[in-house]
Structure 1
Amino acid sequence: MARGIGFRTNRVGLVGGDRSPAFRHVAVPPRRRGSRAPYAPGGIAWLWTPACAPADPPEDLPVDEGALSLRWSGRVSLTPRILFVNIFALALLAGGFFYLDSYRARIVDGRVAQAEREVRLIAEALALLPPDDRTDEMVNFARKSGLRLRIYDRRGRLVADSRALGVRNFQLVDPDKDGWQQDAARALDAGIDTVVGNDRDPLYRERAPGRGLRWPDVVTVRTTGGTAASVWRAPDRTPVVTAAAPLPEDRVLMATVNARDITSTVRTERARLSLVLAVAFLLSVLLSLFLARTIVRPMRMLARAAIRVRLGRAREVVVPRLPSRRDEIGMLARALSDMTSALRSRIDATEAFAADVTHELKNPLASLRSAVDGLGAVKDPELRAQLLAIVQDDVHRLDRLITDISDASRLDAQLARAKFEAVDLGALIGALVAYRTERGIARGVTLHFDPDEPLVVHGEGARLERVFANLIDNAISFSPPGGTVRIAGTNDGDLIEIEVVDEGPGVPPEQREAVFRRFHSVRPGDEAFGRHSGLGLAIARTIVEGHGGMIAAESRRDHRDGARFVVQLPVAGA
C-alpha cells in the first residue's frame, strides 16, 4: 500500500502532488445554464479545470455606486440620520421659546393682580379724603406708583386724569417710528403668539373723555360694585393692564399701566436663547458631519472593497484594516480583512484541489482510453486479456478515487453536524485488529495491541474508526512479510495518545508533513497498481483535527527502521 494511501498513476502519468494545506471541503453553487464546467452531484467541483474557468475581470474594475445606494423608500444614509438626531435635540431645546411665552403670561397675570390690588388700595385711600383733596392726592399716588389714574363719574365723563395734570408715566409707542430690530422682535412675538394661541388680547385704544363707559372695567365696577382688571395689547405688542375700583359718590377710579418691561425681559431672554441655539446648531452640524465622516467614510471604503471582492479578483483587493481605529468600525474592518484573507486561502485551496483532482482523473482515463483503443487493433487473445485487465484496474481505480473524493468533499460538513459521544478507542482498535487478523488482511504481518488503561474519547465512532483503519492498513502495506505492527495507547488524564509503529522503510524527514497532503504518494515498490486514492492520510488528519486532536508522522523511538504515526485526542470529559 502506498504511504499516504497513494496510488500508481499509470504507465505514462506522473504522481500527483500538492503543496496546499490539508483538504477542507469547499462547496460550489449549482452550475448556471450554459456553463461548460461540469460539477459533482455532491457539491464539489471535482471535474473543474482552469480551461473551464471564466476569464478574470480587469484589475481596475469600477465599483457600481448604485450598489451602495439605499433604494427602498424611507431609507436614508447615515449622514442625514446623524444630522437629524442631533438637530432634533436642538429643536426640543428651541421649545424654550414657547416656555418663555408661558413665563410672560404668568408675569402678566401677576401684574394684573398687582394693578387690581393697587387700584383698590388707592381707591380706599381716596375715599377717606374730602372730595376737593382727592385730585391732588390722586396725582401724588400716580407719581409714586407709576400708574395713570383717571376718575370717571356715573355717566362715564372724565373727572380727573393724572396725565393731564402733568404725570406722564404712561406712554404708547408708535411702532412706525421704531427701527428694524424692534420690527423683527414684534414679528417674532406675533409668530409665537399665533403658534401658542396667545394672540387674543384686544388692541388698546384710548377713549374720548366722555366715553368712559366704553371701558369694560368701568362698566364691571358700576355693575358689580367690586374691582375689575383687563389686559390689552399695545400697538407695539407690549401688554397694557387696566384696573378699576369704586369711589364714593358713584364714581370709578381706573388705573392704566404699560408693562413694557415684561416684553423687554422676554425679548432679551429670547435673544440670548437664540444666540445659544445658533452656536449649538453650528457646533451640532459640524460635530455631526465629523461623526458622519468618521463612520460613513470607512463604511463606504469597506463596502467598496467588499464589492470589488465580489466582482473582481479577491487576491488583488486590499481590504483596509484601519489599525488606528480601536472602536467597532475598526473591529469590523479587521474582521472583513481576515475574512477576505480566509476567502483567498479557500479559493487557493479550491483551485489546487480542482487541479489535483483533474490531474488524478486524467491519468486513469488516459490509461483506460489507451487500453480501449488497443482492444480494437489487437487480435491476440492473451494481449486482449491483458488490456481487459488494465481496463478493469483503471475502472476500479476511478471508482475508488471518486468515492474517496466524494467522502472527502462531505467530510467537513458531516463533522459539523455530527453528534459526538464517548468512544472507547481500546475496543474500537481491538475490533479492527481482530478483523484484519481473522480475514487474512494482515498478509502475514503480526498486529499487536494490548491496552492496559482506558482510552475513552469524545467523538464520532465511525470517523475515528476510519482514521485508525487507514493507519493500520498503511502500516501493513509497508511492513515486510513476517513483520510486526505495534499499536499502543496511553492516557495522561488530558490527552489520549495512540501510536501505530511499523517495520517498513520509514518516512523521510522531508516527507513527514507531505504525506498528509491529498494525492501525495510514497509507496513500496511491490504495491499493486491503482489500489488507493492518495487521500487516506489527508482524510485522517481532517477527522482528527475535527475532533480537536493532532496527527503526525515520526521516526521510531528505538531508531530502528520503520514509521511511527501518532494520534492525540482529548480525553472524554476533560
Structure 2
Amino acid sequence: MALLDAGPAEDAGDGAGTKAGPRIARPRLPSLNRSPLARKIITFNLLALVVLVSGVLYMNSSRDHLVTQREQAHIVEAELIAAVFEAALPEGAPVDLAAGDGVDAARALDALRLPRGIEVWVADPSGAILARSDIRDAARIPGIAAPEMPPTYITDRLNDVWSWFEEVTGSGPPEAAPAPPEARVLALSRTVAGSGATVVHTVGVKGGEPAFWTGTPIERGGAVVGVLVTATVAGEIDQLVRAGREEVLQMFAIAILVSIGLSLVLASTIATPLSDLAEAAAIRQEGRRGQDPARVRIPDLTGRPDEIGNLSGALRGMVAALYDRIDSNEQFAADVAHEIKNPLASLRSAVGTLRVAKRDHQRARLLEVIEHDVRRLDRLVSDISNASRLDSELVKEEQEAFDLVRLVANLAEHLGEEAREKGIEFITDLPSEPIRIEGLEARLAQVFVNLVTNATSFCEEGDAIRVWCRRREDRVLVVVEDTGPGIPEVALSKIFNRFYSERPQGQFGNNSGLGLAISKQIVEAHGGVVWAENIRAPDADPGGRPLGARFVVGLPV
C-alpha cells in the first residue's frame, strides 16, 4: 500500500544517566541555613507540641480543684479540733476559757497531735488570743515559705522570666504585705462569735499563693464560749501545682529533643532529596563543573515507595522525553536540510542548463523541471511547517468525546467517490453501533485521510480498497486495506520515518514523505498504535508477491 513517510525512530535514552536499577538514596541531615522546608518541618512540629503543653499547663482546672478540695478538708479539720475542745468541757460547770474555767486551752492545744502544715489559735469571743499551737517550724506560718518540696528548676526559671516581664512592663499586680496573724484571728473571732457558724477566708499572699483561714465556734449549750482559728501554710497548693508542672515541663523538654531529632530525620528524607532533585533539574546554560553541560542528570530515587520516588521517576521521564525531543528535533532539522537540498540542487542545475540551451523544446523541458521542483519545495515547506507545529497543537487542543464510526463513515463517503472515479472499488465495513472515544476528532480525521489517500495513490483501475472498524475490549481497530502492489519487505520498518517515500517513477516528487510520520505522531499522542503489514494468503510463500497492504490503527476506548 501507500508508502508515505515516517520519522526517525526516537532513541529511548533516559536522559538522566545510565539505567542502573532503582536505588534508595542514603538520607543525610539537611542544612537548616539552606533548607527552608527543614526549618518549617521543625517549626511546625515544635509549634504543635508547644500548643499542647500550654493547654496542659494553663487551660485546665486542676489548680481550682485542688483549692476547693483543700478548703473543704481544712473546714473538716477545724471542726474536728473544735469538737475535741467541746468534748473536754465539763457538764454543768461554768465555762470561761479566758479564766481557765472548764478547760485549759493552752494545755488542751498542746495535747493535740496537729497535722503538718496547719496552725491553730484559740480565742475568746472578743478576739483575745488564749492559746496558740507550738511553733516548731517557721515555715508553718502563712506568709512564710512553705515546707520543702522537690526542686522545680524549669518552673522557677519560667516564673522568674514572667516576674521580670511584669516588673519591666509594670503589668503585675501590686505586691501587698500579708496582714499579721493576730489581726486575722481577731477579725475571724468576732465574725464567728456574731454568726455562730464556721467562716472561711481564702487570702492571697506573695505571688497569689492561697492560704486558708478558718474560724469555727466552740459551743456549749448553744452558746459560743470560744473560737478556734486555723490557718494553712501559704503556697501549699501552688507548690503542688508547680511540682506537677515541673514534671510536665521535664517531659516537654524531652519531647522537644525527640521532636527535633525526628524532624531532622524527616527533613533528611524529604527536604534533602527534593533539594538534590531541584539542583539536578536546574538547567544552566554553562552547565555544572565536572558534568556534561549538555545533559541534566536526575538522581535515581525511584526505589523509594513514596511521593519522592514518584517525583524522581517523573522528573527522569520528563528529562528523558525532553532529550528525546531535542534529539528528534536535531535529526528533523538535519533531514529537512537534506530534503531541501535535493530540489535546490535540481533547480540550480536546471537554471544553469537553461542559460546554455539553444532549442525551444529544451527550454520548455527545463522550465517544466523548474516548475516541478518549485512545487515540490512549496509542498515540502508546507508539510514541514505542519509537522513542526504538530506537537504544540496536540498539547494545546482539548480532547472531546466523539463517535469514531461516524467520523470514518463520513470520510469514507467522500474519499470513496474519488477512488471510484479512478476505477477503484471502495468497500466499507463499519459497526452499526457508535463507538465513542476521547480525542481530537480533526487530527484523527487527518490520519484516516492520509491512509486512504495513500492507498488510493498506489492502486490502479480494478483494484479495491476496504475500510473496516471493530471494537476489541478496551481498544478499537480501524483498518485500511488495498489490493495494490504491497509494501517491500525492506520498507516495512521505514515507512513511518520522516521523509521516507518509495513511489512509482511517475509519482516522484509529488509527496514529501511526512504523511505517515505525522499520522503515527497523532495516533501515539492519543495513546494508540499504528502499523503496516502485507496481506498474504495463509499458505503463501513469504517471499512472494503480496495480495496488498494493510494499515492498522489501534486507539484506546
**Alignment TM-score > 0.5, same fold:** yes
TM score, norm. by length of structure 1: 0.71
Aligned amino acid, residue 110 of structure 1: Q
CA distance in 2, matches of 1:186, 1:424: 84
CA distance in 2, matches of 1:299, 1:242: 66
Which range moves more in the overlay, 94-103 or 464-473? 94-103
Q: Is 1:363 aligned to 2:342, yes or no?
A: yes
C-alpha distance 453-379 of structure 1, shift in aligned 2 (>3 A): closer
C-alpha distance 340-198 of structure 1, shift in aligned 2 (>3 A): same
Deviation at 1:314, TM superposition (A): 8.2
Which range moves more in the overlay, 492-501 or 102-111? 492-501
Which stretches in structure 2 are left out of the alignment for 5+ residues? 12-30, 90-94
Contact 1:449–1:488 at 8 Å: present in 2 too? yes
Contact 1:4–1:522 at 8 Å: present in 2 too? yes
Q: Give the secondary-structure state (helix, strand or coil) at the position aligned to 1:391.
A: helix
Deviation at 1:551, TM superposition (A): 3.0
Which residue number in structure 2 is paired with residue 139 of structure 1? 109
Deviation at 1:286, TM superposition (A): 0.1
Q: 248, 259, 279: which is aligned to 1:304? A: 279
Q: Is 1:463 aligned to 2:446, yes or no?
A: yes
Deviation at 1:276, TM superposition (A): 1.3
Contact 1:203–1:235 at 8 Å: present in 2 too? yes
CA distance in 2, matches of 1:414, 1:236: 76
CA distance in 1, matches of 2:465, 2:414: 13
Matched ranges for 1:144-223 at <5 A: 144-145=114-115, 147-153=118-124, 156-163=127-134, 170=140, 181=151, 188=158, 203-204=177-178, 206-207=180-181, 212=183, 216-218=187-189, 220-221=191-192
Aligned residues with identical type, % of pairs = 29
Deviation at 1:365, TM superposition (A): 2.9
Contact 2:394–2:525 at 8 Å: present in 1 too? no
Deviations 1:347-376 (A, max 9, x none): 112221122122222332343345445556
Contact 2:484–2:549 at 8 Å: present in 1 too? no
CA distance in 1, matches of 2:496, 2:430: 29
Q: Is 1:568 aligned to 2:552, yes or no?
A: yes
Contact 1:429–1:465 at 8 Å: present in 2 too? no
Q: Is 1:473 aligned to 2:456, yes or no?
A: yes
CA distance in 2, matches of 1:354, 1:89: 58
C-alpha distance 156-202 of structure 1, shift in aligned 2 (>3 A): farther
Q: Is 1:336 aligned to 2:295, yes or no?
A: no
Deviation at 1:345, TM superposition (A): 1.2
Q: Is 1:95 aligned to 2:54, yes or no?
A: yes
CA distance in 2, matches of 1:229, 1:191: 34
Deviation at 1:153, TM superposition (A): 4.2
Q: Is 1:116 aligned to 2:75, yes or no?
A: yes
Which residue number in structure 1 is paired with residue 8 of structure 2? 19
C-alpha distance 484-174 of structure 1, shift in aligned 2 (>3 A): same
Q: Is 1:85 aligned to 2:51, yes or no?
A: no
Matched ranges for 1:466-545 at <5 A: 466-476=449-459, 484-489=462-467, 494=472, 498-504=479-485, 506-524=486-504, 526-543=505-522, 545=524
Deviations 1:78-103 (A, max 9, x none): 21221122112221332266359842
Note the aligned Cα RMSD (angstroms): 4.6
Q: Give the secondary-structure state (helix, strand or coil) at the position aligned to 2:275.
A: helix
Deviation at 1:536, TM superposition (A): 2.6
C-alpha distance 537-168 of structure 1, shift in aligned 2 (>3 A): closer
Contact 1:448–1:484 at 8 Å: present in 2 too? yes
Q: Is 1:403 aligned to 2:392, yes or no?
A: no
CA distance in 1, matches of 2:66, 2:431: 92
Contact 2:203–2:211 at 8 Å: present in 1 too? yes
Which range moves more in the overlay, 151-160 or 387-396? 151-160
Which residue number in structure 2 is paired with residue 392 of structure 1? 371
CA distance in 2, matches of 1:185, 1:450: 94
Deviation at 1:219, TM superposition (A): 5.1
Which stretches in structure 1 are left out of the alignment for 5+ residues? 7-16, 23-68, 70-75
Which range moves more in the overlay, 315-324 or 121-130? 121-130
Q: Give the secondary-structure state (helix, strand or coil) at the position aligned to 1:533.
A: coil
Contact 2:533–2:551 at 8 Å: present in 1 too? no
Contact 2:106–2:131 at 8 Å: present in 1 too? no
Deviation at 1:466, TM superposition (A): 1.5
C-alpha distance 353-570 of structure 1, shift in aligned 2 (>3 A): closer
TM score, norm. by length of structure 2: 0.73
C-alpha distance 544-241 of structure 1, shift in aligned 2 (>3 A): closer
C-alpha distance 373-156 of structure 1, shift in aligned 2 (>3 A): farther
Aligned amino acid, residue 481 of structure 2: V
Q: Give the secondary-structure state (helix, strand or coil) at the position aligned to 1:308.
A: coil
